[in-house]
Amino acid sequence: MAVILAAGSGTRMGGPKALLRIGGGSFLARTARVLARPGVDAVAAVVRPEVLAAAAAADPPAGATLLVNPRPEEGMLSSILRGLDEAEAKGADAVLLHPVDHPLVDPATVDRVVAGLHGGAVIAVPTHGSRRGHPGGFARAAWPALRAAPAARGARAVLADHPEWVLHVRGDPGCVLGIDTPDDYERWIAGVSP
């Protein structure tokens, strides 16, 4: 199951990034399309309560479930935990965690992360230019560590504390490209096709 982490307030951007437009759709819809790959049984997006109606009305991600994070002010880990609850309810064996502000990841990168998990990795993450990227894949064996992670460090704590679990797979430039500010948005979104 893929979980899009989209409950941030977008303070630096000036509003929720999930609703930003890219190539004729929203960041949220594009990210959902990219994550809907073979081997990914379901896609869910965790959003802020006040964004739920706008996300559903704008261009809802086809086939994706919208989940509300009731406490988004508690940080990204609270969205991860909401996604894990949904994954457990659906009986998933693994989750792909992907922040909505990385909409330019290549589908082939997602495929390599999924293949790493299917090959037995506890955690599979793409790497590009010596930088760790997204989505991060976490098999069920890693979920207790995610649930126990300190809020301030979140999934990064699990990666740092358990390097023996981590399989690095080849990523693309988009897997490390976060769009956090209006300048980032203008620089990277121009010319993106649908």
* DSSP states of the chain: -EEEEE----TTTTS-GGG-EETTEEHHHHHHHHH--TT---EEEEE-HHHHHHHHHH-PPTTEEEEE-S-GGG-HHHHHHHHHHHHHHTT-SEEEEEETT-TT--HHHHHHHHHHHHTT-SEEEEEETTEE-SPEEEEGGGHHHHHHS-TTTHHHHHHHH-GGGEEEEE--GGGG----SHHHHHHHHTT---
Peptide bond into 72 cis (omega under 30): no
- pLDDT for the residue numbered 5: 95
Question: Quick one: pLDDT at residue 192?
Answer: 62
Would the pTM count as exceeding 0.85?
A: yes
Q: What is the pLDDT of residue 60?
A: 64
pLDDT given at position 58: 67
Say what the pLDDT of residue 171 is. Answer: 97
Walk me through the domains of the chain, giving residue ranges and CATH numbers. Answer: 2-179 (3.90.550.10)
pLDDT at 189: 72
CA–CA dist 123, 159 (Å, integer): 8
Q: Which residues of the chain have pLDDT under 70?
A: 57-58, 60-61, 190-194
